[in-house]
A and B are shown apart, each in its own frame.
Chain A
Amino acid sequence: MKKIIVAVAGNPNSGKTTIFNMLTGAHQHVGNYPGVTVEKKEGLCRYKDCEMTVVDLPGTYSLTAYSVEELVARNFIVDQHPDVVVDVIDASNIERNLYLATQFIEMDMPLVLAFNMSDIAERKGLVFDIEHLSRLLEAAIVPTVGNKGKGRIELLDAIIEAARRPRRGRAHQVYYGTEIEDEIGRIEKIVAEKAKQLAQKYGARWVALKLLEQDVEVTAKISSSEVQDAVRVSIGHLRTIFAEEPETVIADRRYGFISGACQETIKTTVESRHSASDTIDAVLINNILGLPIFLLLMYLVFVLTFKIGKYPMGWLEMFFDWLSVSISAFWPTGSESWLKSLLIDGAIGGVGGVLVFLPNILILFLAIAVLEDSGYMARAAFVMDHVMHKIGLHGKSFIPMLIGFGCSVPAIMGTRILENRRNRLTTIMVIPLMSCGARLTIYGLIIPAFFPENLRGPVLWLIYLIGIVLAIVCIKILRLTVLRGETIPFVMELPPYRMPTLTSVCIHMWQRGWMYLRKAGTIILGASVVLWAAMSYPKPASDVLANLGPEQAHRVRLEHSVVGRLGKAIEPVLKPLGFDWKIGTALIGATVAKELFVAQLAIVYAAGRADQGSQTLREKLQQNYTPLTGFCIMLFCLIYAPCVATVAMTRQETNSWAWALFQFFGLTALAYVVTLITYQVGSLLVS
């Protein structure tokens, strides 16, 4: 069996993913390109006597070095030498889409063009002379309809044919006009002589062209001063001739090459001026209606995720309860097996606690996939951009932040819709400040304990508001310091609206869901076990426990454990915030999952299980703390260290422990400062 590598490239919105799905079906593997936060999708496809590894390159308009995605795509081509590049072209918008193809032509890659959504092009009245166009571009052209699976066999045949054909160089290159060609020729010669390695790897003509375009990456690779001088002279020369940057002229010539090829081969039979998309846009991005419609849709997504997700979540909870009970049935009642405790309190408690969110995550990603595939996501960014721009973020950042009110984990995964790394990192860093569902359980315990009926609503609202205000402040600070850089000017394509297909939406949803599952089985399982051990060991001597009831015994055990001791050790640090060691212990435990705070507090107060005993727990809290301390607990819980799942997710999505730890400690420091000020000022005012 012959093994070949096929790279799938294309513009954003060209239906590239549908072609990738069509080729690989469900056999996909999602990961990241090493060192960057660009999603890498790979799949296998067997056809005839070939085994194809199909790699989905990031969607790009070009192959410059100005965005991570483009650089990733370019480096993949240069370093991995795929046997064939399939460039997915939106057949209803050939000219713009062929721009990327010209760059594969420049790199002399065996190229297959998939004229995707050819049904839409046909409806638009476009008629192609495919044979002729194929000859002009020296690439096989296959009409496809990715979301209906049309053209699969033809595309596979074309790929195999392209891989088999010996590489013999192209008959005609993109011609840039005499003036530029002269300079290319001049630099090409010097490059071939002075930068042999580079010329061998990339081809001298391509290097020369990139140098004239002032490509930062290629320019940085040139150490020979002769090449540098020659390039400088050439660029200066071209600037005087054209009164434009050479790059602009080169881009113009590429478009010239394309329209030359298209003029003879593409005909429009119907003149359509106003499309359905324009009509829909008149409503959806309307100056007055746009924002309310967006907010309404977001509200719907939110409700869907957490209201409908509640039911399967309940079933999963029931399942894990049943699992705990069944497992503990293996031991005689009252036995103190460490294995039992590890399985039930550690593994099931930890992983189960995270897995119950799977339905929410699946629904959320289903909704996002529908919004993305339909073309609405681009409009959402458009509508929110004005507001988000003021705090230095892209309009799209709003969506993951909103999701953060449900759970930080899917929210951080949701930042994948942001293309710009700086934007994405900033958004990820502040997502934990959006009060998630788990923290609501803490507020639910504290607020009724310390605040009268009529103040409860406003206090809860205040806590959420503080989170939002702090997020805005943090974004501002991050954008001025570590994540400085000009706000990316807003340029975005508004793709035509399309009906999302069930398969592509489901594949999207499943890929993300699977990543979540895999993480629950690895990082979260590990962390849960570590925390379980820290909460269970060392054990007090058995004679100490002899005369205690089960609840007291529980408390003594926790006090004796690493976590209990840690809680006591940090008491002096927490004192200025008005917290004692009991709160400290609960705070440490809550880093696994914030809802554990309540359970932990219940244990230290020996108040039995949180759900049954919250009334007594509240009474105990009232006896021990002031409303100010209560408020400070909520404040601290709102801001401090994100839970283990969030840390793991941040690590995965940013591909760096540094960012995850920065978030962890940064937020904890922020929590400390804010709570300290609140408590100290509050104490002064109260006394």
Chain B
Amino acid sequence: MELTKLRPLSAVEAGRTVKLAGIEAGQGLRSRLLAMGLVPNVEITVVTSGGPGPFVVNVKGTKMALGRGMAHKIMVV
């Protein structure tokens, strides 16, 4: 099953919806992301991927831009 495999958000192509598994980040950043709604098992829809710039996702009805470095640290299934 491809969908259950743990991978970084950066590896997800646009249009896909995935579930958050964990964030590999320091406390400060983690608490910021938590406050913005990136809690375990939340659904993340990737809006824009590809290109060198940030990554656009949709979480709980909010559009968010994440730096590419960030997208590497967010693990999803």
Contact = CB atoms under 8 A, between A and B. Distances in A.
Given A62-B31, A491-B67, A287 B61 contact: no
B62 interface: yes
A60 B35 CA distance: 9
A124 to B, nearest CB: 9
Contacts of B61: 92-93, 95-96
Interface stretch (A167-175, A243-251, A446-454): A243-251
B29 A494 contact: no
Contact of B37 (A99, A489, A496): A99
A389 B30 CA distance: 21
A270 to B, nearest CB: 14
B66 A491 contact: yes
Nearest to B73: A489
Contacts of B63: 277, 281, 493-496
Contact of B39 (A93, A251, A491, A496): A251
Contacts of A490: 54, 65-67, 69-70
A214 B42 CA distance: 23
A484 interface: no
A96 B62 contact: yes
B16 interface: no
A389 to B, nearest CB: 7
Interface string A217-250: 0000000000000000000000000001101100
Contacts of B56: 281, 285, 382, 494
A interface residue count range (under 10 / 10 to 19 / 20 to 34 / 35 or more): 35 or more
A659 interface: no
Interface residues of B, number: 37
Contact of A492 (B25, B34, B64): B64
B39 A255 contact: yes
Prevailing SS type, chain B contact patch = mixed
B13 to A, nearest CB: 15
B39 A489 contact: no
A255 B37 contact: yes
Nearest to B63: A494
Contact of B35 (A62, A214, A385): A62
A494 B36 contact: no
A64 B53 contact: no
Contacts of A383: 53
A154 interface: no
Contacts of A67: 32
Contacts of B65: 378, 382, 385, 490-494
Nearest to B61: A93
A645 to B, nearest CB: 35
Contacts of A539: none
A605 interface: no
A66 B67 contact: no
B5 to A, nearest CB: 19
A93 B69 contact: no
A385 B37 contact: no
A243 to B, nearest CB: 9
Interface in A274-311: 277-278, 281, 285, 287, 290
A337 to B, nearest CB: 62
Given A95-B61, A251-B34, A385 B67 contact: yes
B33 interface: yes
Nearest to B41: A252
A491 B64 contact: yes
A492 B56 CA distance: 9
Contacts of B62: 93, 96, 493
Interface of B: 22-23, 25, 27-37, 39-40, 42, 47-48, 50-54, 56, 59-67, 69-70, 73
19 contacts: A62-B35, A64-B35, A95-B60, A95-B61, A96-B60, A96-B61, A99-B35, A99-B37, A244-B40, A247-B31, A248-B23, A251-B34, A385-B53, A385-B67, A489-B69, A490-B70, A491-B36, A491-B67, A493-B63
Given A96-B59, A96-B60, A389-B67, 14 more contacts: A60-B35, A61-B36, A64-B32, A93-B61, A93-B62, A95-B37, A244-B40, A248-B39, A281-B63, A285-B56, A287-B50, A385-B53, A489-B29, A489-B73
